[in-house]
Amino acid sequence: MRLAVLASGNGSNLQAIIDAANREEISGSVAVVFSDKEESFALERARRHGIEALFLNPGHYSHREAYDSDVVYLLREREIELVILAGFMRLLSPHFVEQYRGRIMNIHPALLPSFPGVDGVKQALRYGVKVSGCTVHFVDEGLDTGPIILQEAVKVYDNDTEESLQERIHEVEHRLYPRAVQLFIEGRLRVEERRCFIDEE
């Protein structure tokens, strides 16, 4: 299966997915990495692995819909079947979601529906929760509101900083995201209303 990863930042989740594909734990390949930030290290990671790296400057577009329809065009041109958001810090327009409904995933560094949006780790720490974690979910029109595929808890310690908690959440993310992608590829994810069920092998 041809995968696209959309990322704005460091791309450690992208790296985890590339590595899992290389180990054949994912039976698909990252065909393209796309970013809205030219300096995103995710683009560099893609190039290092011989994967096409695309940057589209949102500053050159007057509105989100126009930008997103170019992204969708590029994805369709490359026959992408699953769109993986990995630290892609833009809300997708309804047009984008409609074009790829049920075939867009996102990872979020908190136990949704708590602490959606930006700075999920900081929000959780400031709130004072004892347990946070990460969530892989399908993307719908809302902000981190789509059906939850996988979720795992991470304990918060008294001496945690945003960085230390982030680091432990990242470790879990790097395990969880490739697993969710492979479940999708195997056709084992079934969504009924808000609930996502994992079919037995």
Q: Which two tokens stand for residue 196?
A: 């996502």
Q: How many CB atoms lie within 10 A of CB 69?
A: 15
Other residues' Cβ atoms within 10 Å of the Cβ of residue 95: 14
Among 3, 6, 13, 125, binds ligand GAR (CB under 6 A): 13
Q: Which of 3, 7, 124, 176 binds ligand GAR (CB under 6 A)?
A: 7
Cα separation, 106 vs 177, in Å, equals 9
Sequence length of the chain is 201
120 lines the binding site for ligand GAR (CB under 6 A): yes
Q: Is residue 69 a contact point for ligand GAR (CB under 6 A)?
A: no
The answer to the question of residue 10 lying near ligand GAR (CB under 6 A) is yes
Applying the rule CB under 6 A, the residues between 162 and 191 that interact with ligand GAR are 170, 173
d(C-alpha 186, C-alpha 168), whole Å: 28
**Binding flag, residue 109, ligand GAR (CB under 6 A):** yes
* Number of residues counted as binding ligand GAR (CB under 6 A): 14
Per the listing, tokens 């041809």 go with: 2
Please give the Cα distance from 23 to 61 (Å, whole number). Answer: 39
> Among 45, 108, 137, 168, which residue sits at the site for ligand GAR (rule: CB under 6 A)?
108
Whether residue 95 lies in the annotated active site? no
Q: Which amino acids are annotated catalytic?
A: 108
* Residues within the interface to ligand GAR (CB under 6 A): 7, 9-13, 86-87, 107-109, 120, 170, 173
